[in-house]
Structure formats: C-alpha cells, structure tokens
Structure 1
Amino acid sequence: MCARVLMVASSDSMPNINSALCQIATEKLTNTHLITLQTVTTALRDEQFRYYTFSTLIFSLLFMLSRLFVDVQHLVEKMDSQEEAASSSLCLTAECFRAHRNACVQCTQNQSCLIDLGSIKLSFEILTRLLKISSGGSNDASDSLRCGIQFLGNVAVGNQLCKDDIWELGFPHVFRDLLELADEKAVSYTCMVIHTCLDKHKTEQLVKDTQQLRLSLKIIDLCRTLPDVDWTVFIVTKHFLKSSELIKKMYTEMTNEERLTLLELILAQLGVVEEENCVMLSIAQFLASCFTDHCSAVLTLSSESSDDQEAMVVIRLLDILCEMTSGCKEFMPLQNHSDLLRATVDLLKEVHLLGKTSKNVFTAAHDFSLTRPGGADSHPALSFKAHLSRLIGNLCHGHVVNQDKVRELDGIALILDNCSIDSNNPFISQWAVFAIRNILEHNLENQKLIQGLRRQGVADDSMLREMGFRVEERDGSLLLRPLKKDP
C-alpha cells in the first residue's frame, strides 16, 4: 500500500498525502490544498487503492471536512465575506466531499470507518448550511451540495447502519429542503439517497403526520415536473406502491393534478412484466372505490368549455381498472366489488343518454379524418364509452352473479345499442361484442333475453360471428345461435 501511495504522490510531487492533508487544518487555504485533495480524489477511484487505504487517510479527510465546516459556518454568518475566499472554501468543500464519495464506492470498511468517525452527522451539518448559501445563487455552493449528497448516497449503498443514520438525520426536513432546490442534479441525487435508504419500516413512517406526508407528495410532484429524474419513479414504484396505507393517505391529500401523476405511474407499472406485480390488491380495491364514488364527474366533459381535472382522474381510473381486470388473477377479486359493476353500467347509461340528447363528446360520430390538434380524437374522453363496455365485459367473465346483475340493470340492451361504429370510440363495437359474449356465456336467462329483443340498435351480425354467435330473426324477434363448426 505504501508503494501505491508513494507512486500516486510522486506523480504529483507529493511525498506524503496524509501529512499534506493534516497541514490544511492549520494553514490558510490555497489552491495547493485543492490540488492535494484532487490527488486523493483521483487515487480513490482505484478499487485496490480504496481497499488498502489506511484509516489514517480517512481520518485526515474527515479532519479536513471538520475544518471546512467552520469555514462554511463563517460564510453563513457573514454573507458579505470576500468572494475569492468564499469560493476557495466552497471548492475545497466540494472536493473533500468528492474524496469521501470515492472512498465509499463498494468498500464496506471505509463506509464503516466514516460512520464510526461521525462523518454522516458532520456532512448533514454542512449541507444544512450550504442550503442557506445556495439560496443566494452560489454556483460553488451548489457544487458542494451535489458532492455532499453523492457522498451520502455512496456511503449508504449496502450498509444498513449508514442507511439508518442518514434517514434519522435527514428525514423529513433536510430531505424536503433538498428536494425544493432549483438544481435538478441535486434533486436527483437526493432522490437517489432517499431511494437507497427506504425500506418497509421507513415507508410506513411517511404516513405518520403531515410533515412526513409532504415529503411523499413532493416526490410525486417531481415525477411530473422533472420527468427525466428516474429516481422519483423508482421511489414510487419500488416503495410507495408497496404500502396501501400510504397510497390511500396520499391520494386523499393530493390535488387532482397530483392524482393524475400517481395514476399514470400505476398504469405504466401494470404494463411492466415482472415476476411479482408491485401494485397490491388493496390498492386496486381502493381505486375501484374512488371510481365508484366519483365517476359521475366525467359527465362535465359534455360541455365543450370543460377542462375538469376531476373528470380526467375518472378517465384514468377507468383505464387502470380495465387493465387490472384483463386476465390478471391477482386483481380478479375486483369482480366481487359490491358497487363497481353497478356504477359502470349506470355511467354507461348516463353518457349514452347525454350523447343522444345533445351533440357532445359522448355523441357517436363517423368522421375518422379528424387528426388536427384539438379534434375529437384528441379529446380526453376518447374511447371512454368503449372502455366502460370493456370493464363490464371483464367483470362478467365467468361470473354468474355479475352476468345476472347486468341483466337486472337493463345493461344488455344498452351494450347492444353501443355496437355501432363510432369514431369517438374506436373499437367500441368489438368491446361491446366482447362484453355481450361474457354476459351470455353459460347464462340461459341472459340468452333468453337476447332472443326476445327486437331489432333496435343491435350489433352488426358480423361482429357477433367473430365471437362465435349468429343472429336469426323469427316472427319479429331475434335469436342468438352458436355458429355451427365446420366438419
């Protein structure tokens, strides 16, 4: 190891790195000291050098960080200090954090040494003061903040003691202040630290009071405002979605805009093929209840001037419920949700009636050339009626109770009346026929009802044929027959 140190030091005309670091504690800070630190930072990039680093070098780095803490505190107390001296102190602080950061990369012994020496607590004390300086627009302070946060991230990786220490010192106030920074990189690094430290127990802490919950809501907001920061999405999908209590509490406190962000993340997660779905059944049941309680809000979209975020939430909830009930075994208990099917059928009745009584987005159209911005195909309610039919079909698949309930709610004729082509609802005919097929399957009462219906808005026979049925007319009534298979 000594030969290694001498080799690095020799290339930079520094025979003794430890000695040079110790001198910084008593000398006036200069560019020479910055060069010393840069030498150490570079050397610590080497895995072998990190592994064989003496604890004395780690101690020297921490001793220097302590000295710099005093300088940073002085800058906070006297904001009018000389700009050159302030810049020098902040550059040294950033470089010292870089050296700490590099020392921790995949090196448990250095992580343990730093936590034993109190480096995490000292780092938080410096960060809280740098936050005050960075608010004045100091680029050097921002650089120091970034490096300090990166150090916390590296020292936490794979070390539970460090994770717990960081969480205790940073949660929730320091983390929240860091997330409020205008510096996107600093925010991204902070999210990385939070993601690294979070576990089941810490996630449960987020629902304890308003201050903790505000941190969760801020992360959701960052998913929307900083879409390029992947760490926010990881926090939500890998931690938040594993706590139904947290999701319920957050959803209750959110604005509709924040709800839309959360629902978009959930919808995207449903499309990820993983061994285990991270969205819990209890969350799915909660979202189903939110849909049944507020689904009538979508009716406001019948007004051309409407821009109702609550209606948008209903639309996204419907999209999620359609995906959840499309053959996902873990979510099929949604078929037993007491009010979900009734609310869906009732809502289809209401939007269908609205579309017939006046011209609005729920009115069937036959113009498929609308591609201009703001056209019918860009309206948020596009395919809404089709998705209602899809959800009804999903809820009735292999479920006799729900099949009967649709009949009792006069939903069969309603769905048949939505089998016509509609450019505002692409594939509505297919989803309607799909729903009818699931409603009729092994259900004689429903099949008899179909046979007694007169031709009023009935589905195109070719559509039914695709599902294995044919329609025959006899004495003014329609009969639904299975197609004969070719011999």
Structure 2
Amino acid sequence: MAHTFRCGLQFLGNVAAGSQASQNSIWKHAFPHLFLNCLAHEDDKVAAYGSMVLYTCLDEDKMADLLDPANLNVALGVITAYRKRSDAEWLHLIVTERFFRCPELVNKMYTSQSHADRLTLLELILSKISEKSLFTEVEMTSMRQIAEFISDCFQKECRAVLKLAAPEDSEEETITCPMNGLCVPSPSSIDTLRLTHLAGKQSKNVFTSTHSMSLGSDLTHAAVGFKAHLIRLIANLCYKNKENQDKIYQLDGIPLILDNCSIDDNNPFLNQWAIYAIRNLTEHNEKNQELIAGMQHQGLADTSLLESMGLHVEERDGRLLLKSVKKK
C-alpha cells in the first residue's frame, strides 16, 4: 500500500514540475488533506515525496491558503515532520524558501506551536540568518520582520522563567525564550537577569548558584544555563558596539554582570561569559572603564568553593595569595 502511495506522489511531483496549470490543479484537489496525510505518515518516503509535491506547488499566491486558520495545521505539520526527520531536504526547503518569505505565516505558526516545534522553528530561523549566502532584498526584509517578532516575544514573555523558582512548577513548566532573536540588549534582558539573580539569592531554588563541582545536576532542566545564556547574549551584542555598551551602562547592568563572575553548576561557563562581557563592555569605552575603576574594594568574595577544595585565600598588601589548607 505504501509503495503505491509513493509511486502516486512521485507521479504528481513529475507532473507538477514546470507546469503552473498542473500545480494549480494538484493544489485544488490535494490541499489540505493529502498534504496533512503525507506529513503525518509513518513512512519516511511518503513524507518526503509528499513534501516534494507541496514544495513544488506552493507559490506566493497559495500562501494565503496557509494563512487561513482552518489550514494552519499544514504549516504546523511541516515543522513537526521536520523535527522528526531533520535530514528531510524538502521539508527544510519548504520552511526556508517558502515560509520564511511570509513573516505573517511564521508569526502565526510560532504562537500556535508546541514548545518542541517552536524550538525547531527557532533553530531553522537561526540557521537561515547565519547562512553565508547573500539575501535578496525581499528575503532580508522578511527575515528582519521575523527577527523583530521573535525579539518582541522574548521581551513580553521572558519573565515567565521566574515561575521555575517555585518548586511546584519546576518539573512541569517548560519555558523557552528566544534570546538569540534579540538584536539589542533590551531592558527586558537586563531586568530578567537581575530578577533571576535575586531570586536565587532570596531562597534556595533552581536559580541559586551551586558549587558542588559535580556532574549530578539535572542538565535537562529549563533553567540550566539561563543566566549564562543571557550574559553571553549581552557579551556578544556589546562586541565593538559603543551604542550597546552605553545601553548596558544606562541600565546599570555592569555591576550585575560583575556579580556573576563566579562558578555555578547550574550555569556552565557563567564565569567565562561574564568576564568576556566585561571585556567587551570596556573596550574603547572610557565611561565603562571609569565605572569599574571607581568601585570600592569590599574584601574577598565567597570563598566556600575554594575551601571545599582544600584551598584558602589571603589578602596581603593588595594581593591575593592562594594557599593549601593542611588537613587535620
């Protein structure tokens, strides 16, 4: 049965190639039910051949059919199928060469998707943006509109991650924030970093820094790496960008980033990203350099991690000395 289905789809693909009239006729009789059936089919070749027909028939005029709420499941089905078959070339082409030309469709898909499919769509968007090939003016405009939409979503929803600090929500809540969609270090990114940092200090929760130096942490938890990713975003956006450097200064973000220069099992490489962020914030920026230079020395930070490793820190003549503690 599946073999016959495959042959029929191959025939439709051949008929549709290079013939607008055939494409219109196939679309009229196959949309949406045949495509939905193919996308959800358990046979990989059926899904591939059905995707080929969909890609061939789908032109700019037919995008309006996908925008109809009753037919949005076809577009959503493409992402779901691609998530399960990430090596499917036709599915990839449908998204990158068809869907991405219609920001309105991408926006509707994003707000209607499951978290897993939303992450897949975000990965495809980032992959498209990072392509080295030159965009046409139309593609550039479309991708800019999509990026602005993703950025707006992050700024509106990012504080939802604070729900993870509540024990009763930590196992069930899945928060995905498209931080890489941000184009500028917005107040939301700094405020979210500040709130998660304070939440971790006020009580013991998923945002509390841990220094166990173990690999026993639940690395699949939604909060793992969240602060590190935020600081990485800020660091990258401030690289050789005076405007963004000044914006972090205005948002009082530099002391906050300095306070995250520590080891945290829940945020791998947090210390490194914080140092890199400070480096980028101060590069050719005298105002930011003066802010850090003017900070008052208040003594040693928390040395409990070093002490647990059998080390002790002493301050002598303005210098820090690291000594081994003899076990009793």
Tell me the equivalent position of 2:314: none
Extract unaligned runs of 5+ from structure 2. 302-317, 319-328
Equivalent pairs, count: 298
Alpha-carbon deviation of 1:363? 1.9
Alpha-carbon deviation of 1:310? 4.7
Tell me the equivalent position of 1:252: 111
Please list, as runs of the form range in 1=range in 2, the aligned pairs for 1:438-453 lying within 5 A after superposition.
438-453=280-295
Residue type of the partner of 2:55?
A: H
Residue type of the partner of 1:429?
A: N
Tell me the equivalent position of 2:272: 430
Q: Which has the higher contact order (CA 8 A, sep 6+)?
A: 2
Extract unaligned runs of 5+ from structure 1. 1-138, 326-333, 460-475, 477-487
Alpha-carbon deviation of 1:369? 3.0
Tell me the equivalent position of 1:484: none
CA contact (8 A) 1:416 1:457 kept: no
| Distance in structure 2 (CA, Å) of the matches to 1:455 and 1:237 | 53
CA contact (8 A) 2:38 2:51 kept: no
Tell me the equivalent position of 1:46: none
What is the aligned counterpart of 2:71 among 205, 208, 212? 212
Alpha-carbon deviation of 1:457? 8.8
**1:445 to 1:350, Cα distance in 2 relative to 1, 3 A:** same
Alpha-carbon deviation of 1:418? 0.7
Please list, as runs of the form range in 1=range in 2, the aligned pairs for 1:296-445 lying within 5 A after superposition.
296-304=159-167, 306-308=170-172, 310-311=174-175, 313-314=176-177, 317-318=178-179, 320-321=180-181, 334-335=183-184, 341-370=186-215, 375-445=217-287
What is the aligned counterpart of 1:261 among 87, 112, 120? 120
| Distance in structure 2 (CA, Å) of the matches to 1:455 and 1:182 | 64
| Distance in structure 1 (CA, Å) of the matches to 2:77 and 2:259 | 45
CA contact (8 A) 1:417 1:458 kept: no
SS in 1 for 2:219: helix
Instruction: State yes or no: 1:275 paired with 2:133.
Output: yes
Give CA deviations for 1:236-281 in whole Å, capped at 9, x if unaligned. Answer: 122212221110121223233432332233344455x441367811
Q: Looking at CA atoms only, which structure, 1 or 2, has the larger radius of gyration?
A: 1
Residue type of the partner of 1:414?
A: L
CA contact (8 A) 2:174 2:222 kept: no
Q: CA RMSD in A?
A: 3.0
Please list, as runs of the form range in 1=range in 2, the aligned pairs for 1:170-209 lying within 5 A after superposition.
170-207=30-67, 209=68
Alpha-carbon deviation of 1:228? 5.7
| Distance in structure 2 (CA, Å) of the matches to 1:303 and 1:267 | 31
Residue type of the partner of 1:285?
A: E
Alpha-carbon deviation of 1:357? 1.9
> What TM-score results when the alignment is normalised by the length of structure 2?
0.79
CA contact (8 A) 2:40 2:81 kept: no
Instruction: State yes or no: 1:287 paired with 2:129.
Output: no
CA contact (8 A) 1:152 1:166 kept: yes
> What TM-score results when the alignment is normalised by the length of structure 1?
0.55
Give the helix-richer structure, 1 or 2: 1
| Distance in structure 1 (CA, Å) of the matches to 2:172 and 2:87 | 27
Percentage of pairs with the same residue: 46
**1:378 to 1:437, Cα distance in 2 relative to 1, 3 A:** same
| Distance in structure 1 (CA, Å) of the matches to 2:129 and 2:16 | 30
SS in 2 for 1:410: coil
CA contact (8 A) 1:257 1:309 kept: no
CA contact (8 A) 2:35 2:50 kept: yes
Please list, as runs of the form range in 1=range in 2, the aligned pairs for 1:40-189 lying within 5 A after superposition.
139=1, 142-189=2-49
| Distance in structure 2 (CA, Å) of the matches to 1:448 and 1:246 | 48
Residue type of the partner of 2:79?
A: I
